[in-house]
Structure 1
Amino acid sequence: MGFYRSDRKHTTRPMVHAVPELLAKYESPLDCLTAHLMLECSEVLAGAKPANLVPLVNRTRPCGRNLYHLWQAHQQQIACRFGNLEFIVLQNKPKAFLLLCFDRKQLEQHMSHAGIRTLLHKAGYKPQACLDELFDLLTQRIVEHDGFPHEIGLFIGYPPKDVAAFMGLVKLPFTCQALWKIYGNPVHSLRLAEDYRCCRQRMGAILATGNRRMLEIGDPEHPFFCQNNDIDFHLLHGAKL
């Protein structure tokens, strides 16, 4: 996977999500699902985030497709297309799937940090639990309580100090709201939020071309992984149909 880091100043602008117009650019149902997951997992693909939550709601979209059903039909092909990126189902309900997409190596390294392990232990996880054991307890809690346990922020790259404050384990003043509640000094947290947003914006611009070659996310030369911010140049000169 690549790494993309924004040079822009932090903001609290909203995250880009897949819109019907973007997905409608891809005629094949598998391509449609691929484009949706590429956008929703863009921060993980970029190496900016260890994992991301992706809900797939059981409803027909304006383009006539149902991503819930597409996942049921194409999850094996998706696994092949995304290479090192893995998907597990945290919650399976008739109305929606809740997926966790992650890069195993990156997430294992992230979850091995002493501060994160301490917070997980306080939340009831075994100190020496491997990643799959952490997943088991996380999934169990989501199913039992039909919601997100507070520690889920640790899995998806939220700053530990913000997660700890949200859980009430440390006393820090609430500062502002980004993709998550930020406590104490907001500078690092806001920078992370902006990096995440820029990854999503960059992927959205690439997918909006409707170029099927842009779905080859397993290619290390994919424009998304290029450090040059001139996306149009790469699309025009490096990825023609």
Structure 2
Amino acid sequence: MKVTEQSTAPADALERKLVHHCTPTLAAIKPANLFTCRSAFSPAARLDPSRPTAAALRGDELSSALRVCRAKLAPHGVRIEVLARRASGALVYVYRPTLLTRCIQEERVAAFLRAEGYDPASLSACIEKLHRRICGTDLQSQMTGRCSFPHEIGFFLGYPYEDVVGFIENEGENYLCSGCWKVYARERDAQSCFCCYKNCTAEYERLFGEGVPIECLAAVDEDFPAIEAFRAAG
């Protein structure tokens, strides 16, 4: 029994992270989420080693946990990639290929991405290029001391076109409000969206805490009206 508990602990920790950070993707109301899975050797992990939803994992533990979680979620249309490995931990990208492809092939988004050297016709090629761009900005961050991301990453997280472009043009300033992202247009719609994500996450964390397996939480049809199901009351 002890061996089983030890062997499943890393996967359990990663599953808690996925539910905490990626519920909108699991629920198919957002195409993708991104979070940092802290390294067991990072300064932040040593300062706070006890938080269950932010449990740090060693590199070998993360690799093992990823295999387990990928096997559970792939049949339900959810993919997991590590976009970068940093001193602070691994940058984990969770996405639904069907929803994400739809987003990056939207006319204005596709035109923007093509101008940046992406091929929106190939999701795998786009994600590979995004990986290279992130690694490039990581190197730049090390040299300048300022953390940055490729600006187009917002499109790979399902952010509205106007907000991604607004962020770029305003250099992250002059936004109307901020939540999951900085908003430059349609503020009320964005606030409603943020509230929807928050409600959905709270409900999924409750269900997961009661023992509902993560694969069941991800087992929704991508046409399921989850936005209506988790919309804020009033």
Give yes or no for TM over 0.5. Answer: yes
User: 2:162 — aligned with what?
Assistant: 161
Change (3 A) 1:216 1:130: closer
CA displacement at 1:94 relative to structure 2: 4.1
Q: Write the deviation string for residues 124-143 of structure 1: whole angstroms up to 9, x where unpaired.
A: 12455511121122111111
CA displacement at 1:186 relative to structure 2: 0.9
After the TM superposition, list the runs of 4 or more consecutive aligned residues in structure 1 that deviate by more than 6 angstroms. 225-230
Aligned counterparts of 1:177 and 1:94: Cα–Cα separation in 2: 27
Aligned counterparts of 1:195 and 1:161: Cα–Cα separation in 2: 20
Tell me: higher relative CO, structure 1 or 2? Use CA pairs within 8 A at least 6 residues apart. Answer: 1
Which residue type is aligned with residue 113 of structure 2? Answer: L
Change (3 A) 1:150 1:68: farther
User: 1:189 — aligned with what?
Assistant: 190
Is the 8 Å Cα contact of residues 34 and 91 (structure 2) preserved in structure 1? yes
- List runs of 5+ in structure 1 lacking aligned partners: 1-26, 231-241
- List runs of 5+ in structure 2 lacking aligned partners: 1-7, 139-147
- Between structures 1 and 2, the one with greater helix share: 2
CA displacement at 1:219 relative to structure 2: 7.1
RMSD: 2.9
How many residues align? The count is 196
User: 1:57 — aligned with what?
Assistant: 38
Which residue type is aligned with residue 91 of structure 2? Answer: L
Aligned counterparts of 2:200 and 2:32: Cα–Cα separation in 1: 13
Moved more, 127-136 or 39-48: 127-136
User: 1:136 — aligned with what?
Assistant: 128
Is the 8 Å Cα contact of residues 85 and 101 (structure 1) preserved in structure 2? yes
Change (3 A) 1:115 1:32: same
Change (3 A) 1:150 1:73: same
Aligned counterparts of 1:185 and 1:229: Cα–Cα separation in 2: 22
Matches within 5 A, 1:149-228: 149-168=150-169, 174-209=175-210, 211=211, 213-217=212-216, 220=219
Which residue type is aligned with residue 93 of structure 1? Answer: R
Aligned counterparts of 1:219 and 1:137: Cα–Cα separation in 2: 27
CA displacement at 1:36 relative to structure 2: 2.0
Change (3 A) 1:216 1:85: closer
Which residue type is aligned with residue 50 of structure 2? Answer: P
Matched residue of 2:128: which SS? helix
Out of 12, 20, 34, the position equivalent to 1:31 is 12
Question: Structure 2 length normalisation: TM-score?
Answer: 0.72
Change (3 A) 1:173 1:33: closer
Q: What is the percent sequence identity of the aligned residues?
A: 23
Out of 46, 49, 62, the position equivalent to 1:71 is 62
Change (3 A) 1:220 1:56: closer
Matched residue of 1:217: which SS? helix
Aligned counterparts of 1:184 and 1:120: Cα–Cα separation in 2: 20
Aligned counterparts of 2:58 and 2:192: Cα–Cα separation in 1: 33
Aligned counterparts of 1:110 and 1:178: Cα–Cα separation in 2: 20
Aligned counterparts of 2:225 and 2:157: Cα–Cα separation in 1: 24
Which residue type is aligned with residue 89 of structure 1? Answer: V
Aligned counterparts of 2:225 and 2:184: Cα–Cα separation in 1: 33
CA displacement at 1:226 relative to structure 2: 9.8
Aligned counterparts of 1:186 and 1:74: Cα–Cα separation in 2: 38
Aligned counterparts of 1:82 and 1:68: Cα–Cα separation in 2: 22
